[in-house]
A and B are shown apart, each in its own frame.
Chain A
């Protein structure tokens, strides 16, 4: 058994299977175990308010990982995530509230329905690239939200719908802690799936499509299949996140899924790091907690200038935009890249030169 606290100071992998391993070293295994332990025991240490925030972070992380599979891995830009969150949320709402189907069946169905619709709107991606695709997804967002807000008989129109928290047998997940565990477990599963996806044939095909889709096609990758697949897989997770979010806030209405939500999710993966699962989580946590911390800053400043409360939402927008720009200019690799740099620095510490 090697010393756990000594990091590998070079690359000692001698075979492909070594290189592909999910947990390359004992240290990595211990680290993963520790993270799982911390995530699962977190509710013992923090207040109810923070558990609520962490739940939101976990839900956002699921969605961000989904989007990152599409935008970061496959290179297809989507600025219509908000609507797909909505599709997930509404599917779950309709199934559980209108038809009385159990949440545990509704959740995967919400994912699958969103995946189908996502795949459908992914079809144009075969011909469209970059900016054009981005606008097509924006059009998808506007159209989906219009349908949701006009299909009164199914969705309750602009008034929205009310949902309940799920139950397991007699045990209800209505407390924040219970729901936190649900979201945390789903997040762990999502992370496991996404990290594995990158190692598979499909994942490598996605990367090839991202780097140069025509070249990928020449090498025998079926572009249509993989692009639509990327849209479907990504939308599946976004749909799951949407359903989780809907059952957390216990309400769905069209305004909750507007353009701003799409931007927030894009910001998460850009600030976190394109194509990085860990980065998606960092970005999701960052963007979810940013408005909260800004509110507390305003709270402190409001003691001196009471007018500040009126500026709160504008101030949030301002800082949100500034943060995005600053990251894009100074750290395009995102938080994941910063983390990597820190790790690199400590790899040979204190003898790095």
Chain B
């Protein structure tokens, strides 16, 4: 039973990180209808900057994080301006390919600048694990859980009540109509990419605190794809809940089924779920259904 609970809790906390990274996907998809496959690279660039600031320049964590977030925002803006805007109206395959190219480019740059060694974060959160009813949790996990919940609340409110959030929803719904109502679609896109990059950086810093930092961490960009599909590509709530579900299922499958097939199931189970979901409910659990007209 403790084993089951431990797997469950690990699943929840891993899932909260997934949810955070998935949020970046969803934000960009909502606004521009593009899937940002370079999200994984967005996730690792942030913590690298943060780490360098903390170790090389001895800046305290909070300030380093702040600078990192500003940097990520600028990165998001630059990417939107240089890569995404010119191909806005291109077919889906081109946009997907552009983000894949971007991921290759950024990944190569990270490799060239920071090398391929795994680096450890200086301890930011308390290291002593907390023991709740026999289940062991490290504080980093708790923090990531808290951050995810806070961000979920913030974004729900943001999309519901703020002017920018409403503009984003309008643009996602119908770009032409939004344009003719006098909204600046360009501005909305830029803001979306900025926010998505910042969210990715937050997720990256948490992830870096858990596992240490290496360029291979960008694989999370692909790992998280099942999460967004499960939750629905355009649902913030779906991203978070999908994150928890995938995290839990992945850990349970890893814990119970891995010995039967010889390992590696953790990475595959999410994709099996994806195929099932796509067959049964193509728009995910919370995604909005689109009606096609000719």
> Which residues in A have some Cβ–Cβ distance to B below 8 Å?
71, 75, 77, 79, 124, 127-128, 130-132, 134-136, 138-140, 142-143, 146, 149-150, 152, 212, 214-215, 218, 259, 263, 266-267, 270, 274, 311, 313-325, 328-329, 332
Contacts and interface: CB of A to CB of B under 8 A. Distances in A.
A328 B92 contact: no
Contacts of A328: 87, 90, 94, 97-98, 101
Contacts of A152: 262
Nearest to B104: A321
Contacts, number: 144
A131 B86 contact: no
Interface string B113-152: 0001000000000000000000000000000000000000
B264 A324 contact: no
Contacts of A131: 29, 35, 92, 96, 233
Contacts of B35: 131, 134-135
10 contacts: A128-B282, A131-B92, A150-B261, A150-B262, A263-B104, A314-B112, A315-B108, A317-B105, A325-B101, A328-B101
A79 B292 CA distance: 24
Q: Which 4 A-B pairs have the closest CB atoms?
A: A321-B105, A318-B108, A324-B101, A314-B111
B108 A134 contact: no
B293 to A, nearest CB: 8
Nearest to B284: A132
Given A315-B112, A321-B105, A142 B278 contact: no
B83 A132 contact: no
B44 to A, nearest CB: 13
B103 interface: yes
B113 to A, nearest CB: 9
Given A146-B265, A150-B261, A321-B105, 4 more contacts: A135-B274, A214-B294, A215-B294, A270-B97
Contacts of A317: 104-105, 107-108, 111
Contacts of A132: 229, 233, 278, 282
B92 A218 contact: no
B202 interface: no
Nearest to A141: B271
A143 B275 contact: yes
A218 B294 contact: yes
Nearest to B86: A329
Contacts of A77: 92-93, 96
B249 interface: no
B97 A267 contact: yes
Contacts of B111: 311, 313-314, 317-318
Contact of A325 (B98, B229, B292): B98
A45 B35 CA distance: 47
B272 interface: yes
Given A132-B229, A150-B261, A150-B262, A318 B275 contact: no
Nearest to A71: B93
Contacts of A321: 100-108
Interface string B281-294: 01000000000101
A139 B108 contact: no
B271 A139 contact: yes
B268 interface: yes
B86 to A, nearest CB: 5
Interface in B44-83: 83
Contact of A136 (B97, B106, B265, B274): B274
B211 to A, nearest CB: 20
A214 B101 CA distance: 31
A135 B229 contact: yes
B185 to A, nearest CB: 19
A34 B211 CA distance: 59
B171 interface: no
A149 B264 contact: yes
B222 interface: yes
Contact of A322 (B97, B101, B268): B101
A143 B278 contact: no
A270 B282 contact: no
Contacts of B268: 142-143, 146
A270 B294 contact: no
B87 A127 contact: no
B267 interface: yes
Contacts of B100: 79, 263, 266, 321, 324
Given A311-B112, A321-B106, A322-B105, A332 B97 contact: no
A124 B278 contact: yes
Nearest to B105: A321
Contacts of B86: 329
B279 interface: yes
A212 B294 CA distance: 8
Contact of A139 (B262, B275, B292): B275
Contacts of A79: 96, 100
B278 A136 contact: yes
A124 B94 CA distance: 21
Contact of B272 (A138, A143, A259, A325): A143
Contacts of A75: 91
B198 interface: no
A257 B272 CA distance: 19
A274 B261 CA distance: 40
A259 B94 contact: no
A244 to B, nearest CB: 25
A332 B106 contact: no
Nearest to A310: B115
A303 B227 CA distance: 47
Contacts of B101: 267, 320-325, 328
A140 B233 CA distance: 19
Given A77-B96, A322-B105, A146 B279 contact: no
A38 B105 CA distance: 36
Contacts of B272: 139, 143
